[in-house]
Each structure stands twice: as structure tokens, then as C-alpha cells.
């Protein structure tokens, strides 16, 4: 009974503790969202002071920023528009502000999980990068780095975070373009500089009213009084001029609009003479729009006075609002189209050249309806009539090959563009990996030429540090391993790994080499920090700096440290990947390779301390601390081949290779520990050296003795290794 009571009390305490933790987590989440919302509001207030903000609307949750009836801009968060994984595997969320012309006013990062920015590169550099988007149109092509397209806007990358800023660029421009399209601010495809279409003046076919309305050359907007009442429902003007029950279906306005420039439309409506006069009066770049209507409501407005602006009709095209003054207005009296209805008012409005009107792009006629709510106050609502000129009346300029190539490049997936931009790095690294593959497959041939192989290996290590590490930033990390494991568990997407081609290629090669040779190929040839350590230690040995090694029994037990570090990092990642990325600073890779020692002093001191120790003990970090090496050692258990050759006498009695192995990967019994081997091939150079390998020397002497004439011969006892069994070459035991 007592044990049951204790168990119940323990369960209750555990439940209370869990509830407290859950509550704390919820509060921290609310606090995070509140801080994020506060930052977003501050950015809006900075660029649109005193603007009224609507609630998020539509699929993209866009906020409309207004002052009175004027639209100042729009605000949205990219996470509601696109979901593009960044280097961390999680999307970056930004707030983007647009003006009504489709120009980016501000882009600001609200949340990210990029490891290089969490600890490493100051976050201010990312904000300075996004600030460069101010003033860029959403339909422009923006390239990070250099571009062969002269019309593209280029922005310099953030050193050390190229992939991250390329993802930011993709997120900002794609999200902004999608939102602008949904709002009707822009038209066309990003990357293709769409040239304005022209009206075909040589195309004419007789038509009547029904044919022109049927093919979309003339568009109609029919509003009933009931539709107007519904538009003002819930506002102060709801009860103003409200229709009686029997008047709901009565026509408020029946409006038609058309573009008069095409001969088929203009000549049908105006007649040949009036159309010719209109075309002669238009200046280059100007266009004529006809508006015809009947009903109780006048699209011109009774309050219109000379010198003023028509306040009831305006055009909108790709975010550009076109208003009309009295100088842009012509009365339309005589219309000749067969079958057309009667209209109470008709007008021609001239779109001036400065509006940069494109007859081939969609445009909208906006009809504003006003209800008086007081002596000088009123409320407006807008009704839209979309117009698109039929294609047979248009002539569109064909894009050039360069424009098509630019459009294709702009619409490719992000990772494809990254691969194109890094084609030089990819080509060089693929050539280097091909050379390494040749060395590994022909290792028996190369190890018979130790002097050549030593210099070839030193040159390859310099290439690994300088090109792969410092130039191409191809330093693999345990963070990549944790990201891959979490991607398999949660949401695996290839584009997450393809966004960094150098890292992807190195990982593919490393995975293949693990199956064939073990993890030593990466650790001994392709790890920039490991190569840096090896080169520094090589220089230290040439300078006669003393070297120290631990007894093998101690050395063997210290191997476990790196596996413990790996398990701790993996456990932390299950709770928080961000915390795991911070804890992964146990790797000095970011400091020494990615950022080239350009960061806070304590990180630099840690990396330098490891390199100083390496002067006296070769690759101490790799042997005892490196969690990446531990992660690569685990699948090395499944390697398919054992390419490193050994003899029966290796280890008993010969200990030469074990003494010469500079990372102590050879056990006293002679076998090579593939989990610790860095595949430097030094032991294989000794194996094939008939002037250095004791078993091989003895074997060669025996062979010469067999070929020598019969007679007494003596072999110094000191040169005879002791063995109780034949070696792998088939020689007999030495007694």
C-alpha cells in the first residue's frame, strides 16, 4: 500500500513538472512571437509612419497599409508564401514591404536557424544584405554575385554564408513576385524583360457589337442597386440611398469599356473618318480608351469641374494607377457599331505616354462609388472591370536568345542555379576526387614509389586546405550528419542537400569511400582541418620539434572520447537543433576553415591551441575529440574490402609499422584499426619497401640463398625475426 502511494505521489509530481515545463515552453513561444511581431511593426512604422494596417488577408496573409482611402503599400511574411529550406534545413522567415508599384521597400529577417549566423558571422551582416533589396522591383532578376546578364541586379554575397544568402535571395524575390502577382501589381515572368506589345494597325475585319463583346474586345460591368447596398453593408453608409425591396434588381450602372486603337474595334465603333481623326490626334505612346454606360450612376460624376480629375474612374496596370484630367477627356457622340445598346453617356479617355501603358498586358478599370455620410464626409467602394485585348489585335516582340536564357535561368530551382554558379569549383573538385580515386585504386603501384607518393600527398593536402577549405568552403561537419539524420526522421528533401554542391559532392564521395576503404580516406585526404594539422606537424618535424606519444593502452582508451561527444551532440539535437549547432563548436572547423580565424577571440584561441598541441602530437583533435570522425567510423564497420595489406610477421615479431604510424592506428598485434586509420598509406610504403620492411628483407635473403650455389652461408641471428607460423607469402616458420 505504501509503495502504491509513493508511486502515485511520484507520478503526480512528474505530471506537475511536465505541466510546468509545457507552460514555460508555451510562454517562451508566445514571447518569441510577440518579439517577432514587435520587430515587424517597428519596420512598418519606420517606412510607413502613421499608416493603418489591415488584418492579414488572402492566401498569403497580406496586410494592406493605408492612409484614408490611399493605399501606401503591403506587408507580408515570406513563410506564408514560399517554403524553401535553407542550409539548416529550416526556412528563413522575412517580412517584406511593397509599394503599390511593385517595388520592394524593405526586407527584414524575422527568424532563421542558420548555424553560420547563430555562432560565427555577425547577424548584422545578414540584415545589411537584406537592406539592399530596397528599391528593387519584384519582376527584376536579382543575382547573388556575378551574372552574365547585364540587366540583372547583382548583390554581393556574405563571405562564409553564400548558400544562406542565396536562399534569402530566392525567398525574397519569389515571395515578393507571387504576392505582387496576386495583388495585380506586376505582370510577366521574372527574368524576362517583357517588352510592350504594339497594336496591329494592318489587321482589320468587319465586326458588329455582339462579335466584339463575344471575343472580349468590349468588356461589361453591370451593377444593380442591390449589389451596391451589399458593398456598403456594415459601414456608416449602409443606410444611405438604400434600395427599396422592389428596387434591388434595378440597374445602378451598366458600363462597357474598350481599347479603341485596334482598327477592328475603332473603325467599328467610330467609323473610318472619326477613327482616322482620333489616330492622328494621338501622340506616340498614347492610347484611347472608350467608356460607355447607362443607368442611374454617372461614371463622369456631377462634381467634375474643368481642370480637375475624374474621381470615379481610373485605370490600373501592374500597380501603376492612371488617373484622367479634363485634358484627357473627349466627348463621344456618334457610335456606329451595329447592334449596340443605347447609352446615356459615352467618353474617350486618353492614356498619356508618361504612363508607359502596355496594350498587351492586362489592365483594370476601377469604378469608384461614393455615398455621402455627412456634409463633407463620405465613403467609397471600388468595383473592378478587368480587360485583356484579344491576341489577334496585338503584335508581341519576340524575346532574344539572351532574354530567353535569362528567363530560363531565373525560373530554374535554386539549387540548379547554385550548381551553375559554382561550376568552376565543382569541376576542380571532381577532377581532384578523380585523381584521389586513381591513387586509391592503384595504391600498390604508388606505394612502391614512396618519394613520389609523399610529395603527391603533401600537394594534395595543400590543395585540400587552400582550395577545398578556404576557397570552396568544403569543410564537412558533424552538423551535416545531424541535419541528415533529422531530415530522414522528419521531412527529407533533396534540395536541402543540393543547395551546396561542394558539400554534397564531398559527402557522396565520402559515403562511397567509406564502403570501399573506410572513413580514413576523408580524414586523411579530404578534411581541410585535418590536412592543416598534418602539414603543420610535418613542418614541426622538419624543424626538429620533439614529438610525444601516449602509451598505447592510454591512447586506446582515449578513442572513446569522440564517440561520447557525438552521442552528447545527437542527444542535444533531439531537443533543439539550434542548441546542437552551438554545441558543435567543439569542432574548430568553422573558425579555422570557414571563417579563416576571423571571429571572436575565444573561438580563435581554441582553434590555435589545438594547432599548437598538434606541433608536438600529430592530429590530437582528430584522434580523440572529433565527433565527425566518430560519426564516419560507425558505418566504416560495413566496408566491403580490406585494401591495406599485412604479413603474418606484422606485429609478431615486427613492430616497425606500428611504431611509425603517426596516429597510432596499428595495434601491437599488427592489425590496423580501420576506425582510426587515416589512410595515409605510410604502412603500405613500408610493406612494399624491400630495403625497409624486415619480413620482406628476410624473405628476399632466403630467396637469394636458395638461388646461390651450395655452400655454407651464415645469417646474423639479429636479423632473423622470430615467428611460429608461415607468413602470408607462404614462407616457412623460422626456427
Closest C-alpha to 476, from 347, 328, 632, 277: 632
Residue 706 lies in a domain: no
377: which 3 cell numbers?
Answer: 464626409
Neighbour-count burial of 521, counting CB atoms closer than 10 A to its CB (0-12 exposed, 13-18 middle, 19+ buried): buried
SS (H, E, C) 599-650: CCHHHHHHHHHHHHHHCCCCCHHHHHCCHHHHHHHCHHHHCCCCCCCCCCCE
- Residues 654 and 554 reside in one and the same domain: yes
- Residue whose C-alpha is closest to residue 475's, from 560, 428, 532, 520: 532
Please work out, in degrees rounded to the nearest 5, the angle formed at the alpha carbon of residue 433 by the alpha carbons of 428 and 437: 150
Give the relative orientation of helices 414-421 and 162-183 as an angle to the nearest 10 degrees.
140
Nearest Cα to Cα of residue 635 among 483, 493, 517, 530: 517
Is the residue at 24 inside a domain? no
3-state secondary structure of 411: coil
Examine residue 188 and state whether it is found in any structural domain, yes or no: no
Residues 632 and 483 grouped into a single domain: yes
Residues pairing with 94 in the sheet: 109
Considering the domain boundaries, does residue 9 fall inside one? Answer: no
Q: Which domain holds residue 174?
A: 38-183
Spatial distance between the Cα atoms of 560 and 676, rounded to a whole number of angstroms: 11
Q: Hey, is 198 helix, strand or coil?
A: strand
94: helix, strand or coil: strand
Identify the helix (H) or strand (E) that includes residue 535. helix 528-542
Do 227 and 252 form a contact (C-beta atoms < 8 A)? yes
Query: How far is it, in rounded angstroms, from Cα 611 to Cα 545?
Result: 14
Residue 719 lies in a domain: no
Give yes or no: residues 327 and 257 share one domain.
yes
Q: How many domains does the chain have?
A: 3
Give the single-character DSSP code of 526. I
| Alpha carbon distance 628, 633 (integer Å) | 9
Who contacts 365 (Cβ-Cβ below 8 Å, separation ≥6)? 221, 255, 257, 289, 291, 313, 314, 315, 384, 385, 387
pLDDT of the residue at 396: 87
Residues 335 and 431 in one domain: no
Q: What share of the chain is helix, strand, coil (3-state, %, to 5)?
A: 45, 15, 40
Do residue 381 and residue 450 come from a single domain?
Answer: no
Measure the CA dihedral 21/22/25/27, to 10°. -110
Measure CA 516 to chain center: 33
Contacts for 434 with CB less than 8 Å, ≥ 6 apart: none
Domain boundary among 362, 395, 428: 395
pLDDT at 161: 65
What nine digits make up the cell of 187?
A: 505582370
Predicted local distance difference test score (pLDDT) of residue 718: 42
Find all residues with CB under 8 Å of 560, minimum gap 6, and list them. none
Residues 47 and 146 in one domain: yes
Low-confidence ranges of the chain (pLDDT < 50): 1-11, 14-15, 17-36, 713-735
Question: Is the same domain home to 650 and 682?
Answer: yes
Residue 356, phi-psi category: left (phi > 0), alpha (psi -120 to 50), beta (remainder)? left
* Cβ proximity of 197 and 395 under 8 Å: yes
Largest CA distance in the chain: 136
CA distance 664 to 654: 15
In this structure, the answer to whether residues 136 and 65 fall within a common structural domain is: yes
C-alpha cell, 220: 461589361
The helices-and-strands tally (H runs, E runs) of the chain is 27, 18
Upper half-sphere CA count for residue 186 (Cβ side, 13 Å): 27
Q: Is residue 527 part of a domain?
A: yes
Task: Name the domain boundary from 688, 711, 730.
Answer: 688
SS3 420: helix
Q: What is the distance between the alpha carbons of residues 670 and 590, in angstroms, rounded to a whole number?
A: 36
**How confident is the model at residue 493, as a pLDDT?**
72
Strand 142-144 and strand 153-155: the pairing is parallel
Quick count: other Cβ atoms within 10 Å of Cβ 334? 10
Question: Is residue 728 situated within a structural domain?
Answer: no
Q: Residue 138 and residue 175: Cα distance in Å, rounded?
A: 9
Beta carbons of 670 and 651 less than 8 angstroms apart: yes
| Inter-residue contact 257 to 290 (CB < 8 Å) | yes
If we measure between CA atoms, which residue out of 157, 44, 163, 28 comes closest to residue 110? 44
**Same-domain pairing of 210 and 161:** no
What cell does 120 get? 560565427
Asked whether residue 251 is domain-assigned, the answer is yes
Grid cell digits, residue 693: 620492411
Buried b vs exposed e over 621-636: b needs ≥16 C-beta within 10 Å?
A: bbbbbbbbbbbbbeeb
Q: Are residues 137 and 265 in the same domain?
A: no
Residues 493 and 568 reside in one and the same domain: yes
Domain boundary among 688, 704, 728: 688
**34-43, long-range: CB < 8 A, 24+ apart:** 36/110, 36/111, 39/95, 39/108, 39/110, 40/75, 40/77, 40/95, 40/108, 40/110, 43/95, 43/97, 43/106, 43/108
Task: Report the SS3 class of residue 405.
Answer: helix
- As beta bridge partners, residue 95 has 77, 108
Clarify whether residues 373 and 418 are in a common domain.
no
Backbone angles phi, psi at 591, to 5 degrees: -70, -50
Cis peptide before 67, with omega less than 30 degrees from 0?
no
Amino acid at each position: 500500500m505504501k509503495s502504491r502511494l509513493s508511486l502515485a505521489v511520484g507520478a503526480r509530481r512528474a505530471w506537475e513538472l511536465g505541466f510546468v515545463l509545457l507552460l514555460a515552453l508555451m510562454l517562451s513561444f508566445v514571447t518569441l512571437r510577440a518579439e517577432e511581431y514587435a520587430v515587424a511593426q517597428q519596420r512598418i512604422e519606420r517606412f510607413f509612419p502613421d499608416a493603418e494596417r489591415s488584418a492579414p488577408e488572402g492566401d498569403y496573409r497580406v496586410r494592406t497599409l493605408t492612409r484614408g482611402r490611399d493605399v501606401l503599400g503591403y506587408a507580408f511574411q515570406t513563410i506564408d508564401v514560399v517554403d524553401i529550406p535553407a542550409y539548416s534545413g529550416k526556412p528563413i522567415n522575412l517580412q517584406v514591404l511593397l509599394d503599390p508599384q511593385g517595388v520592394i521597400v524593405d526586407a527584414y529577417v524575422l527568424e532563421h536557424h542558420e548555424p553560420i549566423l547563430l555562432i560565427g558571422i555577425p547577424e548584422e551582416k545578414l540584415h545589411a544584405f537584406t537592406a539592399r533589396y530596397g528599391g528593387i522591383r519584384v519582376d527584376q532578376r536579382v543575382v547573388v554575385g556575378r551574372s552574365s546578364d547585364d540587366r540583372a541586379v547583382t548583390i554581393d554575397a556574405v563571405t562564409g554564408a553564400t548558400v544562406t544568402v542565396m536562399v534569402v535571395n530566392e525567398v525574397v524575390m519569389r515571395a515578393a513576385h507571387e504576392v505582387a502577382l496576386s495583388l495585380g501589381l506586376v505582370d510577366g515572368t521574372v527574368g524576362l524583360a517583357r517588352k510592350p506589345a504594339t497594336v496591329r494597325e494592318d489587321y482589320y475585319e468587319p465586326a458588329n457589337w455582339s462579335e466584339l463583346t463575344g471575343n472580349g474586345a468590349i468588356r461589361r460591368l453591370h451593377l444593380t442597386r442591390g449589389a451596391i447596398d451589399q458593398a456598403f453593408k456594415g459601414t456608416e453608409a449602409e443606410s444611405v440611398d438604400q434600395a427599396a425591396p422592389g428596387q434591388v434588381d434595378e440597374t445602378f450602372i451598366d458600363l462597357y469599356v474598350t481599347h479603341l486603337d485596334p482598327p477592328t474595334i475603332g473603325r467599328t465603333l467610330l467609323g473610318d473618318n472619326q477613327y482616322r481623326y482620333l489616330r492622328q490626334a494621338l501622340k506616340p505612346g498614347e492610347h484611347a480608351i472608350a467608356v460607355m454606360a447607362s443607368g442611374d450612376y454617372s461614371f463622369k460624376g456631377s462634381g467634375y469641374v474643368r481642370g480637375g480629375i475624374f474621381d470615379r474612374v481610373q485605370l490600373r496596370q501592374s500597380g501603376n494607377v492612371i488617373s484622367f484630367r479634363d485634358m484627357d477627356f473627349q466627348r463621344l457622340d456618334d457610335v456606329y457599331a451595329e447592334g449596340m445598346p443605347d447609352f446615356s453617356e459615352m467618353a474617350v479617355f486618353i492614356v498619356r505616354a508618361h504612363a508607359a501603358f502596355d496594350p498587351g498586358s492586362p489592365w483594370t478599370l476601377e469604378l469608384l462609388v461614393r455615398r455621402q455620410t455627412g456634409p463633407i464626409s463620405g465613403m467609397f467602394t471600388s468595383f473592378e472591370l478587368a480587360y485583356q485585348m484579344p491576341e489577334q489585335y496585338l503584335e508581341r516582340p519576340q524575346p532574344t536568345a539572351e532574354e530567353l536564357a535569362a528567363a530560363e535561368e531565373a525560373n530554374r530551382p535554386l539549387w540548379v542555379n547554385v550548381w551553375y554558379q559554382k561550376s568552376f569549383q565543382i569541376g576542380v573538385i571532381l577532377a581532384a576526387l578523380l585523381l584521389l580515386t586513381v591513387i586509391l585504386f592503384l595504391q600498390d603501384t604508388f606505394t612502391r614509389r614512396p618519394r613520389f607518393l609523399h610529395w603527391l600527398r603533401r600537394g594534395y593536402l595543400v590543395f585540400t586546405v587552400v582550395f577545398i577549405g578556404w576557397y570552396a568552403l568544403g569543410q564537412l561537419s558533424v552538423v551535416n550528419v545531424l541535419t541528415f539524420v533529422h531530415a530522414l526522421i522528419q521531412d527529407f528533401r533533396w534540395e536541402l542537400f543540393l543547395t551546396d554542391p561542394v558539400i554534397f559532392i564531398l559527402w557522396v564521395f565520402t559515403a562511397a569511400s567509406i564502403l570501399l576503404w573506410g572513413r580514413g580516406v576523408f580524414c586523411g585526404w579530404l578534411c581541410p582541418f585535418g590536412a592543416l594539422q598534418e602539414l603543420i606537424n610535418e613542418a614541426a618535424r622538419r624543424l626538429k620539434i620533439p614529438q610525444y606519444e601516449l602509451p598505447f593502452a592510454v591512447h586506446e582508451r582515449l578513442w572513446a572520447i569522440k564517440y561520447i561527444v557525438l552521442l552528447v551532440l545527437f542527444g542535444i539535437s533531439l531537443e533543439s537543433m539550434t542548441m546542437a549547432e552551438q554545441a558543435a563548436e567543439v569542432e574548430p572547423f568553422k573558425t579555422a576553415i570557414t571563417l579563416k580565424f576571423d571571429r571572436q577571440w575565444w573561438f580563435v584561441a581554441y582553434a590555435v591551441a589545438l594547432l599548437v598541441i598538434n606541433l608536438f602530437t600529430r592530429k590530437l583533435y582528430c584522434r580523440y575529440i572529433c565527433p565527425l570522425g566518430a560519426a564516419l567510423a560507425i558505418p566504416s564497420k560495413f566496408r566491403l574490402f580490406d585494401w591495406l595489406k599485412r604479413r603474418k610477421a606484422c606485429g609478431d615479431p615486427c613492430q616497425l609499422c606500428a611504431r611509425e604510424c603517426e596516429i597510432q592506428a596499428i595495434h601491437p598485434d599488427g592489425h590496423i584499426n580501420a576506425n582510426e586509420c587515416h589512410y595515409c598509406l605510410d604502412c603500405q610504403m613500408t610493406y612494399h619497401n624491400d630495403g625497409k620492411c624486415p619480413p620482406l628483407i628476410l624473405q628476399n635473403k632466403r630467396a637469394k640463398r636458395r638461388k646461390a650455389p651450395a655452400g655454407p652461408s651464415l645469417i646474423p641471428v639479429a636479423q632473423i625475426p622470430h615467428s611460429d607460423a608461415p607468413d602470408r607469402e607462404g614462407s616457412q616458420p623460422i626456427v
